[in-house]
Amino acid sequence: MTDANTDTDLHRRLQAANARIERGTAERAAGADERALALAEEAERRGRGGPKALAAELGVSAQVISQAIARARRVGPRRRQLPADTQERLFAVELRAVPPLPADEWERLAVLVRGIYVDVTWIAAQPGQLLAEAVEEAAQEGDFDARPLADLLRTLSRTQALAVIDACQSGDLGALPTA
């Protein structure tokens, strides 16, 4: 017999995983559209015989270029989108503004974060505050002074806190500033 909390957590995790898959599928399609647009524009720029010359230059069949041109026509005008690595770049910039802590404090936080299910509701909440509360709870059981870490977490902007969470979850503790 399963309890309701486990079922709810499972469904939330599956929903988050499905959303991530959908974002990946959309990103792949956007990449294919960009490629098609680039090929179509270059073929047109080259004029008569351009598709055939482009195919030879790229080492692909003329049919690949023809399919790209057809896809580009279906896509329509180019939509402006942020680069795919925008989140990573944003987090890197935000982490530079996070006050430094000793490496062992970041490691303690990373262990704690890996045990927390962080979902999209953290974006609307104050993730720094939620992390601080989790650290204080863990300190009651772990017999350590939570104040320095909790105080720092409460000062973080939403984006900084999410950048810290991301670094902890991915194991990239070297990205976190150390004292």
Q: What is the pLDDT of residues 56-101, one digit of tens each?
A: 999 999 999 999 999 988 887 666 677 778 889 999 999 999 999 9
Beta-bridge partner residues of 141:
none
Task: Read off the pLDDT of each residue in 108-131 and give the average, rounded to a whole number.
Answer: 89
Residue 23 pLDDT > 90, yes or no?
A: no
pLDDT digits (tens, 9 = 90+) for 139-162: 888 778 889 999 999 999 999 999
For the chain, the average pLDDT equals: 87
Contact, 95 vs 176, CB < 8 A?
yes
What's the Cα-to-Cα distance from 132 to each of 57, 109, 143, 156, 178, rounded to whole Å? 57, 10, 16, 10, 18
Residue 17 pLDDT > 90, yes or no?
A: no
Pick from 111, 114, 93: nearest CA to 177: 93
Residue 121 pLDDT > 90, yes or no?
A: no
pTM of the complete model beyond 0.85:
no
Q: Which pLDDT score is estimated for 29?
A: 84
Q: Which pLDDT score is estimated for 5?
A: 64
Q: Which pLDDT score is estimated for 140?
A: 86
Of the pLDDT bands very low, low, confident and very high (cuts 50, 70, 90), residue 8 is confident
- Report which secondary-structure segment, H or E, holds 34: helix 4-46
Q: Work out the angle between the directed axes of helices 127-142 and 158-170 (0-180°, nearest 10).
A: 50
Query: What's the CA gap between 168 and 109, in Å, rounded?
Result: 7
**Helices (DSSP H) in 115-172: which residue ranges?**
121-124, 127-142, 147-155, 158-170
